[in-house]
Every structure is written in C-alpha cells, then in structure tokens.
C-alpha cells in the first residue's frame, strides 16, 4: 500500500478476530519503527511495553474498563513517558554527538558545535526538565516571561508544560507505530480509558512513569469491530491558508 492507502486502512478497531494471530516479531519491528518518530530535542523520554502474554492481557482487561478492544486483542503495546530519565538521555546524546560531529561536520566547525551540544544537553535540558514541587517551573516561567518582553522566546517551560511536551512526543511514537501496523495489515485501537494506577501496578512501573496510551493490537473481525463509516469534520472547517 502507498501512504494514503495505509492511512485510509487504519481504523480504531474495537473487536479483534481471536482466530487470527499476530506475528510477534512483526509487531516488535513496528515498535522499533516507532522510535523513528520526531520528538522534542531528541530526548526520547519514552518506553514501550509489548504485552504478548494472554494471561497478562486478561489481567489488564479490568484495568482497561473491560473494553472489548483489550479483551479480544492479540497483543497490547503500552506507551509510557519517563521524564525521570532526562539526565541519562542527555548524557547519551552528548556522547553520540561528539562522534557524529567529528564524522560529519567541517573540521573548522567541530569544536564549536560540540561545545554547543554540551551546553544544550549538559545545561539547558537538565534545567528544563528538573522538577522541585513546581518551584523550578515557576522560576523558569518567570524568567522567560521577563525575557519575552524584549525578544521572542519559548514560553512553555513550567513543569506542566514540560509534561505536556513529553506526552505529545510519546503520542507521535504511538501514531507512527499504528501507521506501521496498518502497513502490515494489522489493526490497532488507541485507548485512553484505563485506570493508570492499576496498569502501572500490573506492569511494575516506577512512580515516575506515566502512561501515555495503550494500543490494542489484532486483526479486525470483519466489520464488527468498526463503528460504521468514518466521520471527519469537513476539511474546509479546519484548513486555513495564510
């Protein structure tokens, strides 16, 4: 299928055919492709939990409000944000960028670019992602508001803003995964209806982790799992050219 065909094929399927099974390695490959999704400052503050055990799916079903998309799913993928990993990710990016710049930048620009990356990921990112009962976020917000009186600046720097960025980033990965699955003629259903505390307990996630969404996976059971024709607001109502 070409891209338009893949996007037309993808639907939120709520009942899967239990007689048809997914190739676990193909699903795993789709998760790997999800890591190619664009993400804020390339921080990749995400984790993906691939649930292949029927026993674990059965355990998760009540925590997902007994939705048929979960109870009939062949597999699940839980998309998780990990804001607490910002130091680890920043260090990994700095080490990668040292070699990347050495290999791909003009010799006369290498030292400056390495210095810039160290400043960005060694100082700015830790400052942006650090949390302390909302106080650091308030300080950042005040600082950029004052600076914004004189020059354009990114203003979404409170702890709530940064959390939103993490979830937007993770959602991009989830969408990339669902498109990759559609390309395999596999079906998905993204879910936000679940008890996050119960799901975290079942998966033994740390308290600092947050669940972005759960994607149920399977193969559609005819048209039974699709709620009729797809509705979209007329394009003219959402498209504006300036």
For residue range 77-127, what is the model confidence (pLDDT) as tens digits?
A: 999 999 999 999 999 999 999 999 999 999 999 999 999 999 999 999 999
37-57 exposure pattern, b = at least 16 Cβ within 10 A, e = fewer? bebebebbbbebbebeeeeeb
Q: Cα separation of 82 and 209, whole Å?
A: 5
Please provide residue 81's backbone torsions phi and psi, each rounded to the nearest 5 degrees: -95, 145
The reported pLDDT for the residue numbered 222 is: 82
Token pair for 10: 């993808």
Could you tell me how many residues make up the chain? 242
Q: Cα separation of 65 and 168, whole Å?
A: 24
Q: Cα separation of 65 and 196, whole Å?
A: 11
Please write the tens of the pLDDT for every residue from 136-170.
Answer: 888 898 998 999 999 998 898 889 999 999 999 99
Q: Cα separation of 27 and 74, whole Å?
A: 11
3-class DSSP state for residue 170? helix
- In percent, the amount of the chain with pLDDT more than 90 equals 87
Q: Cα separation of 231 and 45, whole Å?
A: 33
DSSP string, 40-72: GGG---EEEEEE--HHHHHHHHHHTTT-HHHHT
Q: Cα separation of 58 and 60, whole Å?
A: 5
Question: Tokens 């999704």 belong to which residue?
Answer: 37
> Interior CA angle at 160 toward 157 and 164, to 5°?
90
Please write the tens of the pLDDT for every residue from 13-27.
Answer: 999 999 999 999 999
The reported pLDDT for the residue numbered 55 is: 97
The reported pLDDT for the residue numbered 135 is: 85
């Amino acid at each position: 299928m070409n891209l338009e065909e893949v996007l037309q094929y993808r639907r939120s399927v709520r009942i899967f055919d239990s007689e048809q099974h997914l190739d676990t390695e193909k699903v795993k490959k789709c998760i790997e492709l999800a890591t190619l999704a664009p993400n804020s400052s390339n921080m990749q503050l995400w984790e993906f939990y691939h649930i292949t055990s029927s026993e674990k799916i059965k355990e998760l079903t009540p925590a997902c409000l007994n939705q048929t998309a979960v109870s009939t799913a062949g597999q699940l993928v839980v998309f998780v944000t990990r804001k607490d990993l910002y130091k680890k990710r920043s260090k990994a990016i700095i080490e990668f960028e040292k070699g990347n710049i050495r290999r791909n930048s003009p010799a006369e620009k290498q030292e400056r670019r390495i210095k810039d990356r160290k400043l960005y990921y060694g100082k700015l990112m830790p400052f942006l992602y650090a949390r302390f009962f909302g106080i650091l976020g308030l300080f950042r917000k005040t600082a950029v508001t004052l600076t914004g009186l004189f020059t354009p600046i990114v203003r979404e720097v409170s702890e709530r803003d940064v959390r939103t960025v993490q979830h937007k980033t993770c959602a991009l990965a989830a969408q990339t995964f669902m498109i990759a699955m559609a390309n395999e003629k596999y079906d998905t259903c993204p879910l936000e209806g679940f008890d996050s505390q119960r799901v975290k307990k079942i998966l033994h996630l740390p308290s600092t982790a947050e669940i972005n969404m759960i994607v149920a996976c399977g193969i559609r059971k005819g048209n039974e799992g699709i709620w009729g024709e797809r509705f979209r607001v007329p394009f003219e109502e959402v498209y504006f050219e300036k």
